[in-house]
Amino acid sequence: MLWIKAFHIVFVASWFAGLFYLPRIFVNLAMVPPESEAERERLLLMARKLMRFTTLLMIPAVGLGLWLWLGYRIGFGPGNGWMHAKLTLVLVALGYHHACGAHLKRFMRGEVPHGHVWYRWFNELPVVLLTLVVILVVVKPF
C-alpha cells in the first residue's frame, strides 16, 4: 500500500504542477497584442502540450487514489468525514481541469474569454484546492 500512496502523491503533485502553470499561460495569452501572431501561436503550442501532459498525469493520480480508497478502504467507516470533503475537492479539481481545457479551446478559436486579471485570480484556485486537500489528509479534522 505504501508504494501506491507514494506514486499517488507523485502523480497528484505533478498533475497540480500543470494546473498551477497552465492558467499562467492563459494570463500571457490574454495579454498578447492582436498583431503578435507568432507570440500567440507559441503560447498556444505550450498550452496545448501542457494540457495534454497534465491530463496524462491526472489519470494515474485519480486511478491510484481510487485504488487506495476502494481497494484498501482508506477513509471508510465512522470518523472519516475528512474523506468526503477530500473527494468533494477532488471533484472540484477535476472540474477545474476540465475548465482549463474549455478555456484553451476558446483561445485556440481566437477568442479571449477574460482579461489577464481574471486569469490571475483563476490561477489561484488550484493552490487553495491542494492546500485544503493536504490539510484534510494529514490532519483529518473530522
Q: CB–CB of 44/107 below 8 Å?
A: yes
Q: Look at the block and give the residue holding cell 507570440.
A: 39
| Torsion, Cα of 92, 9, 121, 108 (10° steps) | -80
What are the pLDDT digits (tens) for 29-70?
999 999 999 999 999 999 999 999 999 999 999 999 999 999
What are the pLDDT digits (tens) for 71-107?
999 989 899 999 999 999 999 999 999 999 999 999 9
Q: What is the pLDDT of residue 124?
A: 97
**Given pLDDT bands bounded at 50, 70 and 90, which one contains residue 25?**
very high
What are the pLDDT digits (tens) for 112-139?
999 999 999 999 999 999 999 999 999 9
Percent of the chain surpassing pLDDT 90: 96
Q: What 3-state DSSP class applies to 80?
A: coil
Percent of the chain surpassing pLDDT 70: 100
Q: Look at the block and give the residue holding cell 468526503.
A: 84
Q: For the chain, how big is the Rg over CA atoms in Å?
A: 17
Q: What is the pLDDT of residue 64?
A: 98
Q: What is the pLDDT of residue 109?
A: 97
